[in-house]
Amino acid sequence: MKIGIIFGGSSEEHPVSVKSAQEVAKHLDTDKYEPFWIGITQSGDWQLCDGPGEGWDSADSRPVMLSPDRSVHGLVVLEEGRFDSIRLDLVLPVLHGKLGEDGAMQGLLELSGIPYVGCDIQASALCMDKSLAYLVARNAGIPTPYFRILGADESIDPDRISYPVFVKPARSGSSFGVSKVSSKEEMLSAVETARKYDSKVLIEEAVVGSEVGCAILGNELDLIVGEVDQISLTHGFFKIHQEVDPESGSENSTITVPADLPAETRLLVQETAKDIYRALGCRGLSRVDMFLKPDGTVVLNEVNTFPGLTSYSRYPRMMAAAGLPFGEMIDRMVSVTLTGKVQ
C-alpha cells in the first residue's frame, strides 16, 4: 500500500510534527506499506524526502505537491526538469496546529480524492477553535469552562474579570501563547502574548481539578479507547512540548497512565470522552483532554484531532497501556480510514 506521510508544516508545532513523523518511521511496517515522505518546511515548501530524519530538508529532496486533480490521485514530483506523478492509496497527515489539523490540509485532501487518516474538514476546524468546540459540546450537555472571547480589535477591562483565569489563543495548540493570570496586573500582557499566535483570544475560568485525557481511535460507535491518563503538576500548567528537553521529562508535571483513579471514575472519563468525540463529529482519531473536578464532574478542556505521536506523547502511551502498541495503532488508523472499521 502506497502511503503519503506528510509532516513538518509552517505552524509553531513544526518541530513536534517532525518528532511525531520520526516515531511513525520507527514503527511503520514496510512489509505492508511503501511510505512516501512529504516534508513541509516552516516557510511552506513541500519536499519529497527519504524520511523525517536529520537533514530531511536538504538539497537532495525533490519539490513535490499533492495534486487536487483526482485523476492524478497522489503526488506530482519535479524531477530533472519534468513532472512525474506518484499514485497514493492513502495519506497520513502527521501534522499539528494551524494548516495541519485545522481543516486546511483536510480540504486539500478532500479535493485530491485520496483517503486520509483523521478528522474531516468540519471536525478539524471546529476542534481547532476552542470557543466553538465549547459551544457545541455545551449544547450536547457536556460541561465546559466558563469563557469569553476577545476579538482582534476588542479591549478588556481587567477589573471586570474574576481571577484566576487562563488566557490563550482560541486556535492554537501545545500551550503556545497560554498564560495563567492570577491578578488584573497580568491580564494585558497575557492578552498580548496570546495575540502573537491568534487574533482571537479566549479567556476562560481556571477549572479546579486534575487534568485527565483519553485517546480515541475509530468512528461513531466503533471505537477503541485508550487508558485514561492523569497529569500531576508541581506548579504552573502543563506545557510538555515547550520544555528544553521533553524527551527527558517535564520540569513541572508527571503523567500517570493508567490514571491513579477508581475504576468507575476512569470509566466515566472514557465515556465522557466518547460523548465529546461524537458530539464534535470526530473520526479516525483524537485525544480528548478534560478536567476532573473534586466533585467527580468531568469538564472538557480541548480536543486534539491529530495528537502528538512522539516518544513522550500522551496518545500512543494511552493506547499502549490499553494493549495497542504503536505499529498496530497505525494499522488500525489505516483500517478505519479505508473500511470505516477499526478491526
Per-residue model confidence as pLDDT tens for the chain (343 residues)? 999 999 999 998 999 999 999 999 999 999 999 999 999 999 999 999 999 999 898 878 899 999 999 999 999 999 888 999 999 999 999 999 999 999 999 999 999 999 999 999 999 999 999 999 999 999 999 999 999 999 988 989 999 999 999 999 999 876 889 999 999 999 999 999 999 999 999 999 999 999 999 999 999 989 999 999 999 876 666 656 555 667 666 666 799 999 999 999 999 999 999 999 999 999 999 999 999 999 999 999 999 999 999 999 999 999 999 999 999 999 999 999 999 998 7
Residue of 96, 168, 200, 314 marked active site: 96
Can 308 be counted among the known catalytic residues? yes
Check residue 61 and give its pLDDT.
87
Distance CA 47, CA 131 (A): 34
Check residue 245 and give its pLDDT.
67
* Domain residue ranges of the chain, discontinuous segments joined by +: 2-116, 125-143+208-339, 147-205
Query: Could you tell me how far CA 179 lies from the centroid of its own chain?
Result: 20
Can 312 be counted among the known catalytic residues? yes
Residue type, 243: E
Residue of 4, 13, 14, 16 marked active site: 16
Can 247 be counted among the known catalytic residues? yes
Distance CA 162, CA 75 (A): 52
Residue of 171, 287, 314, 332 marked active site: 287
Please name the residues in contact with 135: beta carbons below 8 A apart, sequence gap of 6 or more.
none
The CATH T-level fold of domain 147-205 is Dna Ligase; domain 1 (3.30.1490)
Q: Could you tell me the three cell numbers for 104?
A: 486546511
The CATH T-level fold of domain 125-143+208-339 is D-amino Acid Aminotransferase; Chain A, domain 1 (3.30.470)
Can 117 be counted among the known catalytic residues? no
268-to-134, 143, 271 alpha-carbon distances in Å: 19, 13, 5
Residue of 4, 14, 18, 19 marked active site: 19
Residue of 94, 308, 314, 317 marked active site: 308
Please name the residues in contact with 181: beta carbons below 8 A apart, sequence gap of 6 or more.
161, 163, 164, 165, 166, 167, 187, 190
Residue of 312, 317, 334, 342 marked active site: 312
Given a contact cutoff of 8 angstroms between Cβ atoms, the answer to whether 161 and 184 are in contact is: yes
Residue of 241, 266, 274, 283 marked active site: 241
Can 287 be counted among the known catalytic residues? yes
Can 235 be counted among the known catalytic residues? no
Domain 2-116 indexed as CATH 3.40.50.20: yes
Secondary structure, 3-state, 13-46: CHHHHHHHHHHHHHHCCCCCCEEEEEEECCCCCE
Residue of 54, 80, 185, 247 marked active site: 247
Can 96 be counted among the known catalytic residues? yes
Q: How many CB atoms are located within 10 Å of the residue 192 CB?
A: 13
Can 269 be counted among the known catalytic residues? no
Question: pTM of this prediction?
Answer: 0.93
